[in-house]
Amino acid sequence: MTSRPVTRIDAKVAALSAEGRPALVTFVTAGDPDYDTSLAILKALPKAGADIVEFGMPFSDPMAEGPPIQASTLRALKAGQTMARTLQMVRDFRADDATTPVVLMGYYNPIYSYGVERFLADAKAAGVDGLIIVDLPPEEDDELCIPALEAGVSFIRLATPTTDDKRLPAVLANTSGFVYYVSITGITGTASADPTRVADAVARIKRHTDLPVMVGFGVRTGEQARAIAAAADGAVVGSALVNAVRDSLEDGRATARTVPAVTGLVEELAAGVRAASRAG
């Protein structure tokens, strides 16, 4: 492929590498539990210690997600979240933050419904840096991956414990930004990651690519983040943050505890990740 411009993801990864520390990547669902609260959470994440923020694009059939993220998606949809509102949320975030990488994560159906060309143009203009689309395999790269790369938006691929050395080259072929290693099999939010197995898997993936490897699924606490970050280029946390939102609600609505509940956990996770760099 031809060379592409340096993205916010590339710049952040390079800066963290220069510091000698792993990244903390945080996931929350756009529009959960409502637009204003969700935007407040998004804006607070970098200040709390998140290096890269992932925003879930609500979809009515999030088949790869466990109950926490499924529930957050339903809350967001009930509150009126749409693709257009998710892109507007990124624009609102960018009004105050020009540097933190923003990755949209979700499924192809809402993008297809919005229109691929229109979506990529609007996402790029809004300030989106990357996409993680869990239900588009490499065989479907012409659908979205290649157009995204041509538009200057990174396409981040998932690798799993079942992605063997024969499959990895196809998975990595058009991947950019970073590789997201799913540390456990199954749906999100259901088990804890094994740092030893993660370290072995990261080493195997790195034999195939120079891209950083971020590890998610099964990371809920600062100590778990430290252990995983020590074995990888970064830790990704989603279900625990979504649960923090859920547990702060009253009758499904945000309270004064909602934003602090998320940022408090992010601060703990960030401390764990930074401890990993000192340990290394």
Please identify every residue annotated as catalytic.
54, 65
Structure tokens at 41: 């959470």
Structure tokens at 154: 């990174």
**Residue closest to 22 by CA, chosen among 279, 280, 270, 273:** 273
Read off the DSSP letter of residue 125: H
Straight-line distance from the first to the last Cα atom of the chain, in angstroms, rounded to the nearest whole number: 34
Q: How many CB atoms within 10 Å of residue 77?
A: 16
How far is 62 from 73, CA to CA, in rounded Å?
Answer: 8
64 and 56 Cβ atoms separated by less than 8 Å: no
How far is 77 from 57, CA to CA, in rounded Å?
Answer: 10
